[in-house]
Amino acid sequence: MPSILPFSLFLCVLAGLTISAIYARRSSVCLGGRDVQTLLAAVEPLDLEGLTCVALDFLEPRSGQTSMEPEVIWHMLGGDLGLRRMRANADLLLALAALAAQWNDAEGTIVAERMRRDALRLRSACRQIHWGMLSQLISGRHWVSVPFQLQEAASAYYLMRQRLLALYQTSHVALLPQLVQAV
């Protein structure tokens, strides 16, 4: 008699993927009809100084690359709240890039695609961080890749922000000061 465990595991994974797809679809539909001011107002604040420091440490290697401790990185990014804000803001940044693509189709489309790929890296890193934290709580063993995932999340968000600011500088410079202040 075959075991029911593999079938149950398959159903749980399928249910999780379905819920994830529905959530992603709902959030993209909710952001689609918003204007720039509404999107900028929805951006949640982050510690940009800490985020930039962590991101540049990862993106621009220098001597002493191991000087940042994982706990310091965690606090510089704002902990779990900071990661959730980065992830929520990433969707808003993508919506802002889509609006800019209406004013500057050639560059806007390419930048929006690059930002979408950065957002995928950010989501993947956040997911792996949460799985690593959960694994650490359950097993008591430290998951070695969490600090690297924190740096990847920070660098992905940093790149999204920089790409969006550069896009608005060439596409709609009048909105740039508001954008800089919001993101």
pLDDT for the residue 22: 61
Selected residue with higher pLDDT from 2 and 60: 60
User: 88-125 in b/e burial notation, b at 16+ Cβ within 10 A?
Assistant: ebbbbbbbbbbbbbeebeeebeebbeebeebbebbbeb
pLDDT 10s digits, 91-141: 999 999 988 888 878 888 899 999 999 999 999 999 999 888 877 777 766
Residue 175 structure tokens: 């909105």
Q: How far is CA 16 from CA 29, 38, 80, 120, 147, in A?
A: 20, 31, 21, 18, 26
Q: Do residues 125 and 112 make contact, with C-beta atoms less than 8 angstroms apart? A: no
Band of residue 178 on the pLDDT scale cut at 50, 70, 90: confident
For the chain, give every domain's residue range: 1-32, 35-182
Q: Do residues 159 and 118 make contact, with C-beta atoms less than 8 angstroms apart? A: yes
In which element (H, E) is residue 39 found?
helix 36-42
Residue 5 structure tokens: 């465990």
Q: Would you say residue 6 has pLDDT above 80?
A: no
Q: What rounded mean pLDDT belongs to the chain?
A: 84
Q: Would you say residue 162 has pLDDT above 70?
A: yes
pLDDT for the residue 26: 52
Selected residue with higher pLDDT from 37 and 8: 37
pLDDT 10s digits, 23-51: 555 544 445 567 888 999 999 999 999 99
0.75 exceeded by pTM: yes
Averaged pLDDT, 74-90: 94
Give the Cα separation of 165 and 145 in Å (integer).
30
| 53: Cβ contacts below 8 Å, ≥ 6 apart | 76
